[in-house]
Amino acid sequence: MASLKEQLGGLVYSTEHGDTCPECRRPLAECACAEQAEQRRLAELDGTVRIRRETSGRKGKGVTTLEGIPLPADELKTLAKALKKRCGTGGAVKEGIIEIQGDQREVLKAELEQRGYRVKLAGG
């Protein structure tokens, strides 16, 4: 394990290249860390979409979360937009998880099954 000094140290800006990636130390224009992280996320999925209702950390407001959708980030945003429109509510995409405001589990389950996904209701 690297020492704290090694973890925190490193080049973050160069007058020659501009900003650099803190992980691979390459100029941001040449960095492929985000693409590699997206590929790792897609490789870890098992093909089952899990729908869950969460209220934790949201001041009692419930949201429906969908995780495990095997799509790249840009297609995930497009799907989220269509699902939000179908439910008539707002939402967001955060770290590969779609959040839809309110308890929309049954509507989302029917919609995703119609689109050909294997869906599982998770949690209570």
Q: Per residue in 55-83, pLDDT tens?
A: 887 787 889 999 989 888 899 999 999 99
In whole angstroms, give the CA distance from residue 124 to residue 53. 8
Q: What is the pLDDT of residue 4?
A: 72
- Pairwise pLDDT comparison (41 vs 11), residue with the higher score: 41
Residue 56, Ramachandran bin (φ over 0: left; ψ between -120 and 50: alpha; else beta): beta
Q: Encode pLDDT of 28-56 as tens digits.
A: 888 888 888 888 888 888 889 999 998 88
Amino acid making up residue 59: K
Average pLDDT over all residues of the chain? 85
**Integer angstrom CA distances of residue 93 from 83, 89, 97, 99:** 11, 14, 6, 6
Q: What is the pLDDT of residue 106?
A: 93
pTM, two decimal places: 0.73
Secondary structure of residue 56 in the 3-state scheme: coil
**Domains (range + CATH), the chain:** 47-122 (3.30.780.10)
Both structure tokens of 33: 């860390």
Would you say residue 17 has pLDDT above 90? Answer: no
Report the percentage of the chain scoring pLDDT > 90.
Answer: 45
